[in-house]
Each structure stands twice: as structure tokens, then as C-alpha cells.
Amino acid sequence: MIEVATPAAMFDLGSKLGAKFRAGDLIVLNGPLGAGKTVLVQGIGAALGFAGITSPTFVISRTYVGNPSLIHVDAYRLLQRDNPNLSLDNLDIDSEREDAVTVVEWGGSIASRLSQERLEITMDRSDETRKVTFVGVGSRWDGFQP
């Protein structure tokens, strides 16, 4: 667990993490509104060479093309839909995932279907200092240290 006191520190944590990520990685972010998920992704993106990353809340998914690319998904609206036909599977990101780092905000259990190898990051903002925990799933993440 890491304590993060400011948005700038969350961005820095994202940059540190992003430097360790590679094409094919799946990162699942969970936490309440305002926990810093998008700021963390902005830091990850900066480490991968991308600026101007914004929340894909209303478009659900954004792809930033590079080497590797960054696929940024916000699954919040998918979880809130009454339409059972609208799901993460409908985004057709599987075809692009092998060449990208994929980060899914609000991924929860729905993102786990994308890969048996993933890093799950949970943010708790029960007070002013965010508490960020990491759980690696699969051999890719054995021994992972942020």
C-alpha cells in the first residue's frame, strides 16, 4: 500500500508505474469518484509519451497511438446501463490490446474477463490521503513492486 497526498503525487506515481508497463499489459483501476484514477492514467500516459489525456467517461474508450499505444477505458457508464447488450466486450479492444497498455477505470470484475494476467489497483479516499493498493494477477505480475 502506498499513501498519496496530492494530485501531483498521484501523477508521479502513474509516471513511475507507466515506465514499468509494456504492450499487452492490462491495468484495472478501482475506487470511488474523485479517487485519482484519471490523474494516475495521465501519469502512466506521460511515461509512455502521451500528453493531453482526458477522461473517456462519455466516449467510454480512447486510444493513444504509439509504441506501445495506450487504451484508456472508463467502464463506469457500462456498469450503469440498463442495456445488457452494452458491455466491455462490445468495445472490440481485444484486437488492439497486444500492442497497447490497456487501463480500465471502474473495471472491477468485468475487466478481469479481458485477461488472466492483470494488475489491479485500488484507490481508497476515505480521508485526504489516498491509499493505493496493488494486486498482481498472473505470472507477469509476480513480485511486482510499484
- Domains of the chain by residue range: 2-140
Q: What is the three-class DSSP state of 49?
A: coil
Residue 80: per-residue pLDDT:
53
Q: Cell 445488457 sits at which residue?
A: 84
Cα–Cα distance list, 52 to 49, 62, 80, 136, 142 (Å): 10, 12, 27, 28, 32
Closest CA to 109 of 90, 87, 134: 87
- Each residue's pLDDT tens digit in the chain (146 positions)? 999 999 999 999 999 999 999 999 999 999 988 899 999 999 999 999 999 998 876 667 788 999 999 999 887 666 555 544 445 554 555 556 688 999 998 777 667 777 789 999 999 988 888 999 999 999 999 999 88
* CA–CA gap between residue 143 and residue 76 (Å, rounded): 30
Question: Can you say how many angstroms the Cα of residue 18 is from the centroid of all Cα atoms in its chain?
Answer: 10
The domain defined by 2-140 folds into: Rossmann fold (3.40.50)
User: Which pLDDT does position 95 carry in this prediction?
Assistant: 54
